[in-house]
């Protein structure tokens, strides 16, 4: 197995005045898929946001460069949140164009990937007005539009049709087979879609490998 990519060392993470996890040593291995599980509200999304440097640590250190706006960060890390508070005020056509220009890809290539995912929606339709499944596909699109070193995917398959799930899983596997490390948060089993190498569980304020 390739050398692990460390993210957090001895970290305590939380939000507001609440600490959700303590003593977190968090790392991923290239070429593997890790599933993160735990009850609602235990800190799965908070752990991801902390590892990516999107929210401050309560204690401990970052072991991976946490510069969300940097070129290295944008090129190496693909992050798909489970949802976002306010979808960009963009129509589908402009969203595809933004991904194209951001990654210096031909617009036709990005559009073809959207169609491959089974994405549906009028070109002039606001992203916010797409169906829930198509909004998920829109969030997934920039994650796999270019090769990545690391993938963080928070409930990627929720509300997506079966065809879309299968295509998404194939694109994830292609990235992992090329050497990416992937972390997937999912309440439901994804064994029928992806080969899970390790499952981590958050319970009682601690992150542990599931037995």
How far apart, in whole angstroms, are the C-alpha atoms of residue 171 and residue 99? 17
**Rounded mean pLDDT of 20-32?**
94
On whether the CB atoms of residues 128 and 134 are closer than 8 A, the answer is no
pLDDT band at 75 (very low <50, low <70, confident <90, very high): confident
Percent of the chain with pLDDT over 70: 98
Residue 85 has pLDDT above 90, yes or no: no
Distance CA 103, CA 121 (A): 22
What pLDDT shows up at residue 1?
60
φ, ψ dihedrals at 4, nearest 5°:
-65, 155
C-alpha span between 179 and 173 (Å, rounded): 10
Q: Could you read off the pLDDT of 89-112 as tens digits, one per residue?
A: 889 999 999 999 988 999 999 999
Res. 73: pLDDT tops 90: no
pLDDT tens-digit series, residues 31-65? 999 999 999 999 999 999 999 988 989 999 998 87
What is the chain's alpha carbon radius of gyration, rounded to the nearest angstrom? 17
Q: What's the whole-number mean pLDDT along residues 120-131?
A: 91
pLDDT grade for 210, boundaries at 50, 70 and 90:
confident
Q: What is the pLDDT of residue 2?
A: 76
Read off the pTM.
0.93
Each residue of 131-164: pLDDT tens digit? 999 999 999 999 999 999 999 999 999 999 999 9
Mean pLDDT on 11-31: 92
């Amino acid at each position: 197995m390739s050398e692990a990519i460390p993210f957090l060392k001895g970290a305590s993470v939380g939000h507001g005045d609440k600490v959700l996890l303590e003593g977190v040593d968090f790392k991923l291995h290239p070429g593997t898929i890790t599933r993160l599980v735990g009850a609602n509200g235990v800190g799965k999304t908070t752990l991801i946001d902390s590892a990516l440097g999107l929210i401050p640590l309560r204690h401990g250190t970052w072991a991976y460069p946490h510069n969300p706006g940097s070129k290295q960060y944008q090129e190496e890390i693909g992050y798909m949140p489970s949802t976002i508070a306010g979808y960009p005020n963009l129509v589908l056509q402009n969203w595809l164009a933004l991904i194209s220009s951001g990654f210096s890809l031909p617009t036709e290539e990005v559009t073809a990937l959207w169609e491959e995912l089974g994405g549906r929606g009028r070109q002039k339709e606001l992203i916010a007005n797409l169906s829930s499944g198509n909004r998920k596909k829109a969030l997934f699109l920039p994650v796999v539009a270019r090769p990545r070193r690391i993938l963080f995917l928070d409930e990627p398959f929720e509300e997506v049709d079966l065809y879309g799930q299968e295509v998404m899983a194939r694109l994830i596997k292609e990235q992992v087979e090329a050497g990416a490390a992937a972390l997937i948060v999912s309440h439901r089993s994804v064994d029928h879609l992806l080969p899970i190498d390790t499952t981590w569980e958050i319970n009682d304020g601690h992150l542990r490998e599931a037995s």
